Amino acid sequence: MKRVVVTGIGGLCSLGQDWKTVRDALLAGRSGVVTMPEWDRMGGLRTRLAAPVPGFEIPEDWPRKKTRSMGRDSAMATWATAHAIAEAGLTGSSLLSDGSTGIAFGSTAGSPGALDSWAEKFYGQSSLSGIGANEYVRFMSHTCAANLAQFFEVRGRILPTCSACTSASQGLGYGYEAIKHGQQTIMLAGGAEELGLIDAAVFDILFAASTRNDAPDSTPRPFDEDRDGLVVSEGACTFVLEERDHALARGATLHAEILGFGTNCDGRHITNPDQAGMEQVMRLALADAGLAPEQIDYVNAHGTATEVGDIAESRATAAVFGAGVPFASLKGALGHALGACGSIEAWLALEMMREDWFAPTLHLERVDPRCGELDYIQGEPRKLEATTIVSNNFAFGGVNTSLVFGRAR
């Protein structure tokens, strides 16, 4: 089996478009959550909270021929991928288009803005007039993966992942497996999500969205006994994954190594999380990595701030790793980036591991006593020299993922 390393990462989220900006926000305890007064138009919607990416625009030097099929999600995915490729030293390289590079990339769905436009014309006006040739491409389920392939002229395998909140983490996992089993040498892997009112509405209908509309700087509150739901956000993050010997031979910098991956399905309920399934997926990832639970130094939680989800996840984590493992969620600061969260949160966890500190779960003041007994990182950043970490994500449909990362050697 091949070893798989990370040679480049590019990402943007509600806290910023580079690690330094995000780092400063995390250390200062700042959140990307804001109120959305433009959502007042939607009758019956209780939440007015979201965490958009500030200031993102499509770069002016991108060819119109390659951007006309992109919604905001694909554009953010392309931006993140370009930065990851540059960090990996692959900009302009023939390796991208000679078939040795593939793509494993996902989102919850396509661009909600493009879907809104199509539906307004097709259903609202009952007319095809004004519907452009690229409008469907912008909201098709594999739009991000397809747009990345044509923008960077990638000719290897393409694995579009469309599994809600595990889209990006499945992208990382399937990219890892493609290299591990010798099917590709390099994979562009991750996920993207465009903020849409429809996403907030889905969770609002389920009574799973935070309604602290007058206090956006106090929510979401993962694992806190006063939590009242999640806050949707957006962003994108791409990892350049590479076969280790190939990376070393071309002199690439190794940022981390993927040691293991597990994915499974609860097979029990379409929306309610299942502790047994979560526990099993972590054990699958550890088995793939050949590691014991006590060898893990930190667990990066999914931690959405929903009642059932937080309880099931924390209890499953405690069952696998015991009470002493340091444990935190980044969603208190970032919001929930849905199809992008798996790669964004893994990116930030790896950056923190490289700097020997981990951010606390923002807004976590009093741990819900129904949650599992764990070493919750609260209040202040934790100085921690970790060499091996786990990053977990869980999605509607009972889809679970667990990734094991180690420092590059």
Residues with a catalytic annotation lie at 165, 302, 336
Token pair for 364: 């976590």
Q: What is the DSSP letter of 231?
A: -
| Closest alpha carbon to 280 in 328, 232, 306, 312 | 312
**Residue 85 near residue 91, CB atoms below 8 Å:** yes
- Using alpha carbons only, how large is the chain's radius of gyration in Å? 20
Cα 130 from Cα 138, distance rounded (Å):
15
Token pair for 94: 């023939």
Q: What is the DSSP letter of 230?
A: B
Longest Cα–Cα distance in the chain: 62
- CA 3 vs CA 189, 258, 287, 405: distances in Å: 16, 8, 15, 12
Phi/psi for 193 (5° steps) reads -150, 130
Q: Please name the amino acid found at residue 236.
A: A
Q: 237: helix, coil or strand? A: strand
Helices (H) and strands (E) in the chain, counts: 13, 16
Q: Which residues contact 280 (CB under 8 A, 6 or more apart)?
A: 264, 400
| Closest alpha carbon to 281 in 394, 396, 405, 128 | 394
| Closest alpha carbon to 140 in 115, 122, 157 | 115
**Residue 365 near residue 378, CB atoms below 8 Å:** yes
Cα 350 from Cα 250, distance rounded (Å):
23
Cα 328 from Cα 391, distance rounded (Å):
10
Strands (E), 273-368: 298-301, 326-329, 357-358
Q: What is the DSSP letter of 218?
A: G
